Structure 1
Amino acid sequence: MKTKLITAALALGAAAAMVPATAADPVERFDLAVTVDDLPVHGPLPEGMDWPGIARDYIATLKHHGVPEAWGFVNARRIAEQPASEAALDAWRRAGYPLGNHSNTHLGLSQAPSLQAWQDDVAAGEPAIAARMRGQDWKVLRYPFLDAGKDPARHDGAAAWLKGRGYRIADVSISFDDWAYTDTYARCRNKGDQGAIAAMKADYLKRVDQTIARTRAVSQRVYGRMIPQVLLTHLGAWSAATLPDVMARLDGAGARYVALDAAQGDPAYRAPSPRAGDGLLMDRRAQDAGVKLDGLPAVDPVMALEALCR
């Protein structure tokens, strides 16, 4: 992605973020930690792009918006599959951002042949992370697919094993489903179909706005306040291209960027749950507490993408 395009996108994002709230409609500030899954590779690589460049674009946007920390969660097997992608991890570390574990092969706990197989996959991902995080606490895990185990015995077994190994869990409270657009974006970019890409972007950013509104409403209903949020994004070409607009919307919504531990230090993240780590935090808490979420702002389904740019 060319530098001048990145600069222009950042400038547009900054301009959007600078639009002030009116006195009649003040913005309620809230803390938000940014996390990024699937380093160093997420989805197909569009022609003319490379994974280190995507990482640099992502980092540039985060730094521009004052994000002090962004955990990048690694699927280490991708390095062997695409050796050139390894430089994306090094770029992440040079930026001062930490790396955590997303399992070696992005293996969901419920889909694993056994608990032992899943544990082995998590352990296999450790060396590539440890080598880049010397002297720092890197044992933070993001469950692939946010799947902490649908079977109680497997869930509890994994949680106990992770605790014994020194891990803590990176929870998620908000996601814009950026992953859903990734494959189609690569097809459309390769075909040069700017009309399709523009339609995708309009759909995605509409859903970003809707998700922010719903997040506020869910938090108020479940907790009676806006709790600190943990955002899940992915290190893919689509996500990097749209991140300036996403961050501008978060700025405008009142996000104040904090470290993951600061966000998860809130009591909302320490509430016990038989399904701890599974799915989105606030939805899980609502289910555990029997809180109904009827009547809250809705988020539209992702637009039909499969037929685009075929």
Structure 2
Amino acid sequence: MKTVLTMLALLVSFSFATPAQAADTFDIAITVDDLPAHGKLPPGMTRSGIAASHIKTFKAHGVPEAFGFVNAAGLANDADNAAVLDSWRQAGYPLGNHTYSHMNLDQASTLEAWQADVIAGEPAVASRMEGVFWRYLRFPYLSVGSARRDDAFAFLRDRGYKIADVSIGFSDWDYTDAYARCVGKNDVASIERIKAHYLQDVDSGIANMKENSRRVFGRVIPQVLLTHIGGWSAVTLPDVLTRLEAAGARYVTLARAQADPAYAEPGGGSLISRSAWKNNIKLVADTSGEPALDLKSICK
């Protein structure tokens, strides 16, 4: 009798939990910047190994597409770097353009210099994406320029590009070099400290994304995640994806996410933040409760 009652209780609990969980689901596309190499290389890691780790994690979590954005200048720095792009394609994941040298549109000497950097980044991508649409551009630093914005957008349209937007990210780039230093010093305590801090930020970032999306759009829109192909990202990606899934994430392609009307007007920075600013909507403040870490000095 006790067993039967326990089973009934579990069934009742499940029946109430399922609708709430289903209502809380959201689509998310995965994008990875700075292929083939991002940040300092931690001792004991290789660029191709970092890529392999990303791919293994994506496959284990059923990610159908991880769009990798390429800075082709990195191919000249290490013979191992070309293997990163090749393995990405062999895994069935697409590549897009992130400009040749990661040039910031706002800081480029001229608009023409930035345009040349975009064009210079194309061959390494096009040669690996034959027969597949690859003309997505991710703006370096998510900077679309100010006075140069309209001209840059017109240039991209003329070359057949779509803009790869961003709606959520956890600043993984900010941890990359600190992690490499801590690995070099075998400072396990510091590594655990920064990982705990980072994952707390991931949790609060997901919660804030949902609340802010509802404030701005009245619903949780499909998301586009920005992450980077560094050593830190490789070791924390399983935890990040697990947290996203627990929050209701369902993986989709970039094209599907950006087919949502919320992405109709591309721009710089985060989609949710710029839409809130445009419509004078106040966003929820950070709720992590964690003090800031001095990532520039840790493990030095």
TM-score normalised by the chain length of structure 2:
0.91
Trace 1:50-199 onto structure 2 (pairs within 5 A): 50-151=46-147, 154-199=148-193
Q: How many residues align?
A: 284
Per the alignment, residue 8 of structure 1 pairs with none
Matched residue of 1:71: which SS?
strand
Note the alpha carbon deviations across 1:115-154, whole angstroms, 9 max, x for none.
0000000100100101100111110000000000022xx0
Contact kept? 1:40, 1:88, Cα under 8 Å: yes
State the shift of 1:110 in Å: 0.1
Per the alignment, residue 223 of structure 1 pairs with 217
Note the alpha carbon deviations across 1:31-84, whole angstroms, 9 max, x for none.
000000000000011122111110000000011111000100000000012222
Whole-angstrom CA distance in 2 between matches of 1:109 and 1:45: 27
Contact kept? 1:38, 1:102, Cα under 8 Å: yes
Q: 1:280 aligns with which of 270, 274, 282?
A: 270
Larger radius of gyration: 2
State the shift of 1:252 in Å: 0.4
Per the alignment, residue 208 of structure 1 pairs with 202
AA partner of residue 122 (structure 2): E
Task: Say whether residues 1:306 and 2:296 are aligned partners.
Answer: yes
Residues 223/21 of structure 1: CA separation in 2 closer, same or farther (3 Å cut): farther
Contact kept? 1:143, 1:277, Cα under 8 Å: no
Stretches of structure 2 that go unaligned for 5 or more consecutive residues are 1-13
Matched residue of 2:20: which SS?
coil
State the shift of 1:22 in Å: 7.6
Residues 225/150 of structure 1: CA separation in 2 closer, same or farther (3 Å cut): same
Residues 21/73 of structure 1: CA separation in 2 closer, same or farther (3 Å cut): farther
Matched residue of 1:73: which SS?
strand
Whole-angstrom CA distance in 2 between matches of 1:301 and 1:224: 31
Whole-angstrom CA distance in 2 between matches of 1:133 and 1:23: 43
Whole-angstrom CA distance in 2 between matches of 1:165 and 1:21: 52
Whole-angstrom CA distance in 2 between matches of 1:103 and 1:305: 27
**C-alpha RMSD of matched pairs (Å):** 1.6
Residues 85/255 of structure 1: CA separation in 2 closer, same or farther (3 Å cut): same
Residues 131/248 of structure 1: CA separation in 2 closer, same or farther (3 Å cut): same
Whole-angstrom CA distance in 2 between matches of 1:241 and 1:218: 28
Whole-angstrom CA distance in 2 between matches of 1:136 and 1:268: 25
AA partner of residue 114 (structure 2): W
Contact kept? 1:147, 1:278, Cα under 8 Å: yes
State the shift of 1:297 in Å: 4.9
AA partner of residue 235 (structure 2): A
Contact kept? 1:217, 1:297, Cα under 8 Å: no
Q: 1:234 aligns with which of 228, 242, 267?
A: 228
Residues 297/200 of structure 1: CA separation in 2 closer, same or farther (3 Å cut): closer
AA partner of residue 169 (structure 1): I
Stretches of structure 1 that go unaligned for 5 or more consecutive residues are 1-19
Per the alignment, residue 248 of structure 1 pairs with 242
Contact kept? 1:204, 1:302, Cα under 8 Å: no
Whole-angstrom CA distance in 1 between matches of 2:245 and 2:18: 18
Note the alpha carbon deviations across 1:72-122, whole angstroms, 9 max, x for none.
000000001222211011110000000000000000100100100000001
Residues 80/204 of structure 1: CA separation in 2 closer, same or farther (3 Å cut): same
TM-score normalised by the chain length of structure 1:
0.88
Residues 113/123 of structure 1: CA separation in 2 closer, same or farther (3 Å cut): same
Per the alignment, residue 259 of structure 1 pairs with 253
Contact kept? 1:50, 1:85, Cα under 8 Å: no
AA partner of residue 265 (structure 1): A
Identical columns (%): 54
AA partner of residue 243 (structure 2): R
